[in-house]
Structure 1
Amino acid sequence: MAPTDTTTSSSIPNSASSEDDLIVVDVSGLLMQTEDKDHSLVGFSDPIGIVAVSNGPSWRVDGLLEAANLTGIDIDIPQQPAWTAEDIDTFRRFKDPGAARKIGPGQTQCWMGHRHALSHALSRGWDTVLVLEDDVDWGINIKHQLAVVAPHVLAVTQFSSKATASQPYGHSWDMLWIGHCGDAIPPIEYTMPTAEPQQRIVHKSNRPICTFAYAVTASAATKILQYTDRGVSNIVSTDLRWWCQAGFLACVTVNPELFHHHKKSGEVNSEIAVREGWQDLAAPAMEDFTANIRYSARCNARAVALVSCQDVFDGNRAEAAS
């Protein structure tokens, strides 16, 4: 296992097996408002695109664009087709007696939205695409965080060639799962050193859930589209997780995530929950907050001073940072 090379990261002993590689990454020293006017993200293969999965104008899109403007990122938001109920039922194999599982119409439309985003990326000729759900949020220092993560992706994937400016992550992966709501850290053969606050771990994907943000190569996007061409029986995060576990996709997770979905005061939390009739999950949020993101780009896009709206349990939420 390759040693870490961040300025203040914890060192990991070389006793873990190659199947269980993980790296501790220190991001505690990266609090800064970026003035970088380059509207691309650090890393991935050129050309890279960023595309949002969205079904139209909403508070989600408004906040997404404000956060993107604050952090100097360009995002494509392709208009989704007006899928009919028949389109949705066909894709979820609703009338197929051999389908292993039935998923709801809202969950199905979410999958179709991700497919549409991947198709859009391929039509643009991008080598790599970062797919974002339209309620996603990230830190104001996201470019610097990604720059710190990049060499550790190389280490975890055991990329042997020298990374280039256009490929700091190498190309020994299909999917980087950088926005999720949890992934189990793979078992290791030694005791982890005590993790300090603001550290993250880069590891081979194990059991990630949620698809807030992920990067895929063009070849991986093509495989996903081909594999789902005749419909699905599972939600998008389940299928992607299974394909990572099976080795159909080579996947790497940043844990905790760099992107998480934002909840806005007074607004419905989940369009899928509304469509499926899940009243508890559809309830409006009481306050603006983003879990696991210390200095939210969405919150700071409208703030006059640096604020944190990190978590509904965070006593410093939406207060000026010291």
Structure 2
Amino acid sequence: MYQMSPTGPRSMRVSLIATLAFLFIFFLLQTVTKTSSQDIVSTATTLSQKAILRTSGESTSSTTQSSNKAVKHDPIDDIQNSTLGFGAVLLLSLPSRTDRQDAMSLITSMTNFSITEIIPGVLSDEVDEKARPYGPAMDKLMTPKFYNYIGSWRSHMNLFRHIIDRKYETTLVLEDDLDWDIHLKSQLTSFAKGLRSSLLRRPYTQDELERAPYGLDWDMMHLGSSKVQLPPPPRDRAYQVYHDSYRAPAEVSSSACTSNGYFCWTELMDHAGVDDHQRIIFPSYDSIGLSAFAVTYRGAQRLLYYLSYKELVDTLDRSIDDLLMRGNIRGWTVVPPLMGEWKTKGNRDTNLRVLSADTPVGLGNMGGISPGMNWSVRKAMVDAHEGEDYWKSESPYWTQAWAMSSTFSDVEGKPHENAEEKKPEAAGSDGKSSENKN
């Protein structure tokens, strides 16, 4: 009987181990060779790039940084978009003032931006007695002179609540009687750059640099004030001067100055020593007027808390002014303002103030004015739409078409003779047409 040698299985195990070891070493060498080849190509490419960079006088690191800067998005560029770099543009307007809403659609289209939503204004009679604001302001607001301010207060509270519910991070709020410069986007760009370079605030965070053209360190920004004051000394030196090529000269920007200090900017500009191409930014302290302002999400929360949940100490703009002076909210004010009121000098100018019954209708939009605006968008709109006579400008084409075509079609599409249509034959002495009867 055949018997296997005791060394047989052992030899097979050795052979198997040797084979596996050989295969392992083979694949390892293949991997190392491939990696080394890739490294060589990569190294050669890098050296080639460095050689080219040295030839152009640049280093690898500086070129990489320059490339990153070129590709990186600057949020200030977002000011050119349809919401001027804000999360939304909200228009506050009474539903009945469709005339003003028409005007706002026209002038926003002239400046290439859009109203995101219209927040309906509220009349005082629509505010339930139990929902009226609590606080010392009510004694004043229940008088005939200030009664309409209750509706104004409620309108703004609805607006702040809307911002919170929609979670808009930043919002531009416009009233419906505004005018602004045709170069508004350039002015806002200069304003944003002034904020970014300001020493009055902490340096911009990386988050702000990446997505917030106006920063996020504020609750409210007054862009269309009617009356402002710097804080008392020494804080009256806390302002930032920045360049704006499209600022109106002093004689224009302060042309509406009133005896009680509204729309008067000359004193502030003299205080800061600015020229006709500069504006001033400063922390809001005594800033009156809500024609145009911006608010952050946090600012909307704070304003709704202080002005509705807590108490109202005066009319809305005066109550906000009080919060600014107390330091309960933080903000920025720009002078001269970037936006202003449009006035037609009649009873259409306001739904807030009580006017006498004999107040005239006014001059209408075509006779309206916006003191302080150098290149009014409303006046630019008139120039863009007026002055063309369609009948005159297009008549050469019609004349040419008339000469080239023998027939035209009427409204129903039926052909008819043109101006050179056949004349009826002259009638004979007997009243009948003189036909050739052969």
**TM exceeding 0.5:** yes
Distance in 1, matches of 2:195 and 2:360, equals 38
The 3 A distance-change label for structure 1 pair 216 and 143 is same
- 2:151 aligns with 109
- Please state if 1:219 is matched with 2:298: yes
The 3 A distance-change label for structure 1 pair 85 and 189 is closer
For structure 1, the 5+ residue unaligned runs are: 1-35, 307-322
Residues 92, 102 of structure 1: 8 Å contact kept: no
Q: For residue 229 of structure 1, report the CA deviation from its aligned partner.
A: 2.5
- 2:132 aligns with 91
Distance in 1, matches of 2:164 and 2:336, equals 29
For structure 2, the 5+ residue unaligned runs are: 1-78, 240-269, 387-438
| Map 1:23-102 → 2, pairs under 5 A | 38-42=81-85, 44=86, 48-56=87-95, 57-75=97-115, 76-80=117-121, 84=125, 87=128, 90-93=131-134, 101-102=139-140
Match of 2:333 among 239, 253, 260: 253
| Map 1:130-145 → 2, pairs under 5 A | 130-145=172-187
- Please state if 1:151 is matched with 2:230: no
Deviates more, 1:243-252 or 1:197-206: 197-206
1:26-61 Cα offsets, whole Å, 9 max, x none, are: xxxxxxxxxx9731203x5xxx11111111233222
Aligned residue identity for 2:102: D
Aligned length: 261
1:249-274 Cα offsets, whole Å, 9 max, x none, are: 1111001111111113655221111x
Deviates more, 1:73-82 or 1:171-180: 73-82
Distance in 2, matches of 1:52 and 1:189, equals 32
Q: For residue 68 of structure 1, report the CA deviation from its aligned partner.
A: 0.8
1:223-253 Cα offsets, whole Å, 9 max, x none, are: 1112222563411111111111111111110
Residues 175, 214 of structure 1: 8 Å contact kept: yes
Aligned residue identity for 1:138: W
The 3 A distance-change label for structure 1 pair 268 and 250 is same
Residues 125, 151 of structure 2: 8 Å contact kept: no
Q: For residue 199 of structure 1, report the CA deviation from its aligned partner.
A: 2.7
Distance in 2, matches of 1:89 and 1:124, equals 26
- Please state if 1:298 is matched with 2:378: yes
- 2:216 aligns with 171
Q: For residue 139 of structure 1, report the CA deviation from its aligned partner.
A: 1.2
Aligned residue identity for 2:274: A
1:102-127 Cα offsets, whole Å, 9 max, x none, are: 22221111111111122222222211
- 1:289 aligns with 369
Aligned residue identity for 1:225: L
Distance in 1, matches of 2:147 and 2:330, equals 29
TM-score under structure 2 length normalisation: 0.53
Distance in 2, matches of 1:165 and 1:291, equals 37
Q: In proportion to residue count, which structure has more helix?
A: 2
- 1:21 aligns with none
Larger Rg: 2
Q: For residue 304 of structure 1, report the CA deviation from its aligned partner.
A: 2.6
1:203 aligned counterpart, secondary structure? strand
Distance in 2, matches of 1:107 and 1:305, equals 37
TM-score under structure 1 length normalisation: 0.71
Identity of aligned residues (%): 23
Distance in 2, matches of 1:288 and 1:134, equals 14
The 3 A distance-change label for structure 1 pair 297 and 89 is farther
1:294 aligned counterpart, secondary structure? coil
- 2:318 aligns with 238
Q: For residue 188 of structure 1, report the CA deviation from its aligned partner.
A: 2.7
Residues 94, 121 of structure 2: 8 Å contact kept: yes
Q: For residue 295 of structure 1, report the CA deviation from its aligned partner.
A: 1.4
- Please state if 1:271 is matched with 2:347: no
